[in-house]
């Protein structure tokens, strides 16, 4: 190694050079700190959604755009149900609630009661088109051969019914009462929602619920999030309970889950951050009995975290909360390089030379940072945004920590340690190593080791995997229960499953939608799902309108004299009948179309279903509720042109599965790559020996997880990548360390302790991915420590590796 070859002359000359290096790094750190301050002052954009940590649907840009649009909308919407056994009380409470939510200022819009203007807009928009839009039932009747007689009988029986008041107002302009039939057609597609006093009312289990839907005012990605909105609803819950006895409030929506995730993750950050910081500091204090290393240990962590944070914020638009939680564990990793230096310092005694010692450990920790970054960079090239963030955060963080140790520590730790005797822990390490060397010579131990190797290498064949993305999200049972209840009562559509209908033109899209709508309705009849919502009935295609009009004309005009007589018999005035004739005989000039519909306030509630121009033309949605058999539904829609069934959770899970398989390969490739690198560095046989602890620990980690019945997911495997990065480090340090093996183990032990503290704390996280990561890393690292002495090369082979060829 270079250090031992350096002459005293160059050493003296290099001292000011090193101080320059320290100053230069200080400048860099200042720039980073300033820049970070600037970024923070502009406000952080944080992401909490589990779906956001997954890659975009890469195969289809139109779909990607659409899902972004959908989740963007869902991210702001909260559905609130106000219930009471008495309808009147429910209405009163809902009226109060609507006003309270509006007054809270936490929502940009609150939709509850419907004003008469909206009602009027609907009538004004659709009534003129009553001869061009037939209800499905009416169309079917006419196609089956019904004509004037049947229509007149229908009018008569409507007028004879006790509820005739509902129709009489229309009679003069709509003598065949076609418009009420359209309305009834709309209502027939509903899911048991009734409107009264302007509110949307739902009856469930003897109680009446009024439905309010609100959009949060805050940006869903704002660091403080939509807390204000959630607080407003929770406050309302209390007020309602006071003011309206026995009333109930149920609410759900992405903001509620996001707020919960935010809080859970904040407490994760607190626990993991504080825990690992304190744990690490305690380790250092115990190991070195000295204040200076204790204080210095915060430097690489702080600098590393700041640098990593800045890099992540600059490269990614929104930082995922998981990245921040994960980043707090960096404490354990960043402090590693410092530990090696502290060990050298502690054991250096009176002859301590800060610079020479740095030169001595430099190759080891440099190779260490190189292999770790190599391990992480594998993650950077996955399409998972959150993994890329992890990789970037960790890599930059480690480099920052490494640079801090290399540039700052020699000038900061020039005073030798006041004790020269090796610390207690060091003695234990020596005993542990002695144990290992005894074991190595024993036959029984060799057999046990062989058995463990077998278990390690066999474990991959017994793995069970879990790729369902929903398992990556955790929410308290009460939140999930309330969400399920809201969905049950309000029949809310599933945001993750829908049908996308596309066409080259608006009209083609609408025609295809009409086809898809019929297919979905058939599937509802066959109980494949509960309900659906689409525009087919509200925005018929031009060809459908022309056909409906032609159908009416064809059935009624040839025999109009009879129809006229029948209507006259009911008592209609002649001008009313003449006007009917004119309407039927004239080709409709002014058809409904997308632009008119979009421009009308009548489209307000349904506008979101029309996607407008997409990457391939135009698109519209069929929202689905209570899907029971998505596969069967998909099959039914398979033949329809321009119609795609989309199940984001399933697609995401498939994607997760694919990447899990890919990352398994990545793990294998990474381990082989590192092995090759070690074989080049240490020679083939020694390379394998240095690698052995990593392989054993990874394999046995899997074996432990299998034995405990854990289903593995992507994050367990990624944990193994991290284990590789760290365990190889330990092996390399053992093999490279110029000093005694006990000293190497001492350093490794400390680094393992700090890492296990960080990742072990991650097991307490509320986020399942972090729990998986924490479990596999902390387990793997402990095992790596236990087996690390296997890397000890005999002095002979170390000499060989030092001078290969």
Query: What residues make contact with another protein under the rule CB under 8 A?
Result: 79, 114, 116, 119-120, 122-123, 153, 156-157, 159-172, 180, 183-184, 186-198, 200-201, 203, 211, 213, 490-493, 531, 533, 537-538, 570-573, 576, 605-606
Contact of 229 with 109, CB cutoff 8 Å: no
Of 550 and 576, nearer to another protein (C-beta) is 576
Contact of 701 with 780, CB cutoff 8 Å: yes
Please report how many Cα atoms fall inside a 13 Å half-sphere around the Cα of residue 60, on the Cβ side.
14
CA angle 726/300/429 to nearest 5° reads 50
The least distance separating another protein from the CB of residue 576, rounded to whole angstroms, comes to 8
Of 103 and 246, nearer to another protein (C-beta) is 246
Contact of 714 with 467, CB cutoff 8 Å: yes
Coil, strand, or helix at residue 569?
helix
The least distance separating another protein from the CB of residue 117, rounded to whole angstroms, comes to 10
The least distance separating another protein from the CB of residue 220, rounded to whole angstroms, comes to 21
Q: Calculate the alpha carbon distances from 362 to 208, 248, 284, 332, 358 in Å.
A: 73, 66, 20, 19, 6
Of 191 and 479, nearer to another protein (C-beta) is 191
Of the candidates 579, 582, 570, which has an alpha carbon nearest to the alpha carbon of residue 173? 579
Of 144 and 350, nearer to another protein (C-beta) is 144
Of 542 and 607, nearer to another protein (C-beta) is 607
β 319-320/46-47 pair status: parallel
Please report how many Cα atoms fall inside a 13 Å half-sphere around the Cα of residue 206, on the Cβ side.
1
The least distance separating another protein from the CB of residue 160, rounded to whole angstroms, comes to 6
The least distance separating another protein from the CB of residue 257, rounded to whole angstroms, comes to 19
What does the alpha-carbon distance between residue 93 and residue 96 come to, in Å, rounded to a whole number? 5
Question: Is the CA virtual torsion 531, 71, 199, 181 positive or negative?
Answer: negative
The least distance separating another protein from the CB of residue 241, rounded to whole angstroms, comes to 25
Of 167 and 432, nearer to another protein (C-beta) is 167
Contact of 324 with 271, CB cutoff 8 Å: no
Structure-token pair, residue 309: 């944070």
Q: Calculate the alpha carbon distances from 280 to 161, 298, 401, 424 in Å.
A: 82, 9, 15, 18
The least distance separating another protein from the CB of residue 532, rounded to whole angstroms, comes to 9
Of the candidates 733, 665, 659, 638, which has an alpha carbon nearest to the alpha carbon of residue 694? 733
The least distance separating another protein from the CB of residue 622, rounded to whole angstroms, comes to 12
Of 26 and 183, nearer to another protein (C-beta) is 183
The least distance separating another protein from the CB of residue 183, rounded to whole angstroms, comes to 4
DSSP E strand boundaries for 97-172: 107-111
Of 211 and 717, nearer to another protein (C-beta) is 211
Of 536 and 678, nearer to another protein (C-beta) is 536
The least distance separating another protein from the CB of residue 627, rounded to whole angstroms, comes to 15
Of 622 and 724, nearer to another protein (C-beta) is 622
Question: Is the CA virtual torsion 591, 592, 594, 599 positive or negative?
Answer: positive
Of 209 and 321, nearer to another protein (C-beta) is 209
**How many of the other CB atoms lie within 10 Å of CB of 408?**
22
Contact of 497 with 630, CB cutoff 8 Å: yes
The least distance separating another protein from the CB of residue 515, rounded to whole angstroms, comes to 19
What does the alpha-carbon distance between residue 610 and residue 490 come to, in Å, rounded to a whole number? 22
């Amino acid at each position: 190694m270079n250090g031992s070859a350096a002459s005293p002359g160059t050493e003296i000359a290099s001292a000011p050079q090193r101080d320059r290096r320290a100053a230069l790094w200080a400048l860099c750190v200042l720039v980073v700190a300033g820049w970070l301050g600037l970024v923070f002052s502009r406000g952080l954009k944080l992401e909490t959604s589990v779906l956001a940590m997954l890659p975009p649907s890469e195969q289809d840009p139109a779909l990607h755009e659409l899902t972004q649009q959908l989740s963007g909308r869902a991210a702001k919407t909260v559905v609130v149900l106000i219930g009471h056994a008495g309808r009147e009380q429910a209405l009163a409470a809902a009226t109060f609630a609507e006003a309270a939510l509006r007054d809270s200022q936490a929502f940009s819009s609150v939709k509850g009661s419907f004003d008469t203007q909206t009602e009027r807009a609907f009538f004004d928009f659709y009534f003129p088109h009553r001869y061009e839009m037939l209800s499905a039932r009416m169309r079917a009747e006419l196609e089956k051969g019904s004509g004037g007689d049947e229509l007149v009988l229908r009018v008569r029986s409507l007028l004879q019914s006790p509820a005739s008041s509902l129709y009489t107002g229309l009679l003069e302009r709509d003598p065949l009462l076609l418009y009420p039939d359209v309305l009834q057609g709309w209502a027939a597609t509903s899911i048991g929602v009734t409107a009264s006093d302007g509110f949307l009312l739902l009856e469930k289990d003897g109680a009446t619920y009024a439905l309010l839907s609100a959009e949060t005012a805050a940006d869903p990605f704002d660091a403080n999030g939509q807390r204000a909105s959630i607080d407003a609803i929770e406050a309302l819950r209390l007020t309602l309970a006071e003011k309206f006895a026995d009333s109930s409030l149920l609410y759900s929506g992405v903001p509620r889950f996001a707020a919960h995730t935010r809080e859970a993750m904040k407490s994760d950050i607190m626990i993991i951050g504080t825990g690992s910081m304190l744990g690490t500091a305690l380790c250092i204090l115990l190991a070195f009995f000295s204040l200076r290393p204790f204080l210095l240990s915060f430097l690489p962590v702080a600098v590393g975290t700041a640098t990593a944070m800045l890099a992540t914020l600059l490269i990614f638009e929104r930082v995922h909360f998981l990245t921040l939680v994960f980043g707090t564990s960096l404490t354990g990793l960043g402090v590693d390089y410092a530990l090696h230096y502290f060990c050298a310092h502690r054991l250096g005694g009176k002859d301590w030379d800060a610079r020479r010692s740095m030169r001595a450990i430099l190759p080891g920790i440099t190779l260490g940072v190189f292999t770790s970054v190599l391990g992480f960079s594998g993650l950077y090239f996955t399409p998972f945004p959150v993994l890329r963030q992890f990789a970037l955060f960790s890599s930059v963080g480690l480099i920052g920590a490494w640079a801090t140790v290399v540039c700052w520590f020699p000038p900061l730790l020039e005073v030798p340690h006041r004790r020269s005797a090796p610390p207690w822990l060091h003695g234990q390490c020596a005993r542990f190593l002695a144990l290992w060397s005894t074991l190595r010579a024993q036959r029984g131990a060799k057999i046990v080791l062989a058995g463990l190797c077998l278990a390690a290498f066999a474990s991959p064949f017994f793995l069970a995997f879990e790729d369902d993305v929903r398992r990556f999200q955790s929410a308290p049972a009460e939140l999930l229960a309330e969400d399920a209840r809201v969905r049950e009562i309000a029949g809310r559509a599933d945001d993750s499953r829908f049908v996308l209908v596309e066409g080259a033109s608006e009209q083609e899209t609408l025609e295809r939608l009409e086809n898809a709508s019929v297919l979905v309705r058939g599937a509802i009849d066959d109980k494949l799902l509960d309900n659906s919502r689409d525009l087919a009935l509200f925005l018929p295609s031009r060809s459908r309108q022309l056909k409906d009009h032609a159908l009416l004309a064809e059935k009624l005009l040839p025999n109009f004299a009879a129809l006229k007589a029948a209507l006259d018999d009911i008592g209609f005035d002649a001008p009313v009948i003449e006007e009917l004739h004119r309407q039927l005989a004239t080709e409709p000039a002014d058809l409904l179309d997308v632009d008119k519909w979009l421009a009308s306030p009548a489209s307000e509630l349904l506008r979101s279903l029309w996607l407008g121009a997409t990457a391939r033309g135009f698109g519209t949605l069929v929202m689905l509720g209570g899907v029971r058999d998505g596969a069967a539904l998909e099959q039914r829609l398979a033949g329809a042109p321009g119609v795609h069934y989309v199940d984001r959770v399933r697609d995401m899970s498939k994607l997760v599965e694919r990447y899990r398989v890919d990352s398994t390969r990545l793990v294998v490739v990474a381990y082989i790559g590192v092995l090759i690198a070690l074989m080049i560095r240490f020679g083939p046989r020694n390379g394998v020996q240095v690698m052995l602890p990593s392989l054993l620990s990874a394999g046995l980690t899997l074996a432990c997880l299998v034995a405990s019945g854990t289903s593995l997911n992507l994050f367990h495997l990624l944990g193994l990548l991290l284990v590789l990065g760290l365990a190889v480090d330990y092996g390399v340090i053992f093999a490279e360390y110029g000093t005694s093996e006990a000293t190497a183990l001492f350093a490794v032990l400390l680094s393992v302790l700090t890492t296990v503290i960080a990742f072990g704390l991650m097991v307490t996280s509320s986020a399942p991915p972090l729990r998986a990561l924490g479990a596999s890393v902390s387990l793997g690292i402990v095992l790596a420590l236990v087996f690390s002495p296997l890397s000890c090369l005999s002095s002979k082979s170390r000499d060989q590796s030092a001078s290969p060829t």
